[in-house]
Chain A
Amino acid sequence: MKATTHTEVYRRFDGELRQRPLRSVTLAWSGIRIGFKKKLPMLLLFIIPGIFTIVTGFMVQLKFEAESGALTNMAGMEPSAQTLAMGALLSSQLGQVESLIFQLLTNMQFFVVLIMGWYGSGLIAEDRKLRANLLYFARPVSRLTYITGKLLTVMFWGSAAVVAPVTIVCSVASLSSPEWSFLTERWDTILKLELYALLWVLFHGVLVLAISSLTDRRNRALGGVFILYFLTLAGSNAMAELMSGQGWRLLSIPNNFQRVFDSLFGQSSPGIGWNLEASLWVLGLLTLGSAAILSRQTRKLEVGA
Chain B
Amino acid sequence: MTPNVPDPPPGHASDSAPPQAQEPIVRLQGLRKSFGSVHALRGLDMELPPGPVGLLGPNGAGKTTLIGLLLGLVEPTEGMAMVAGLQPTNRAARIEIRKRVGYMPESDCLLPGMTAVEIVSALARLTGLNRQDAITRAHEVLDYVELDEARYRALDGYSTGMKQRLKLAQALVHDPEFLLLDEPTNGLDPAGRRHMLSLVKDLGRNQKKNVLLCSHLLPDVEQTCDTVVVLVKGQAILQGSIAELTAAESRRLRVEVEDGASRLQTALEAAAYTTSLTEDGAVMVTLPQGVEDADALCGLAAAEGVNISSVDSVRSTLEEVFLKAVDESEQKAEAPIA
Contact = CB atoms under 8 A, between A and B. Distances in A.
A9 B2 contact: yes
A16 interface: yes
Contact of B64 (A8, A132, A304): A304
B128 A13 contact: no
Q: Which of A14, A19, A23 gathers the greatest number of chain B CB atoms within 10 Å?
A: A14
A3 B191 contact: yes
Contact of A140 (B98, B108, B143, B194): B98
Given A12-B8, A140-B127, A3 B194 contact: yes
B76 to A, nearest CB: 12
Given A7-B146, A17-B128, 6 more contacts: A8-B2, A13-B133, A34-B113, A134-B103, A135-B123, A303-B73
A302 B99 contact: no
Contacts of A21: 125-126, 128, 130
Interface residues of B, number: 66
Interface in B273-287: none
A141 B103 CA distance: 13
B118 A8 contact: no
B101 interface: yes
Contacts of B137: 13, 15
27 contacts: A3-B195, A5-B195, A5-B198, A6-B198, A7-B1, A8-B144, A9-B2, A10-B5, A10-B202, A11-B5, A14-B8, A15-B133, A17-B128, A17-B174, A18-B128, A23-B126, A37-B113, A130-B107, A130-B110, A131-B105, A138-B71, A138-B73, A140-B95, A140-B99, A142-B91, A303-B73, A303-B74
Chain A interface size band reads 35 or more
B337 interface: no
Interface string B88-116: 00010011001101010101111101100
Contacts of B130: 15, 18, 21
Contacts of B206: 10
A104 B170 CA distance: 45
A4 B13 CA distance: 31
A30 B1 CA distance: 34
Q: For chain A, what secondary structure do more than half of its interface residues adopt (helix, strand, loop), or is it mixed? A: loop
Nearest to A5: B198
A294 interface: no
B207 interface: yes
B18 interface: no
A136 interface: yes
A6 B108 contact: no
Nearest to B127: A139
Contact of A134 (B1, B109, B126, B154): B109
Contact of A26 (B68, B122, B180): B122
Nearest to B113: A34
Contacts of B290: none
A6 B108 CA distance: 23
A44 interface: no
B175 interface: yes
A135 B105 contact: yes
A303 B68 contact: yes
A8 B165 CA distance: 13
Nearest to B182: A134
A292 to B, nearest CB: 20
A126 B109 CA distance: 9
B332 interface: no
B71 to A, nearest CB: 6
A129 B214 CA distance: 22
A137 interface: yes
B129 interface: yes
Contacts of B14: 12-13
Interface string B3-18: 0011011011110000
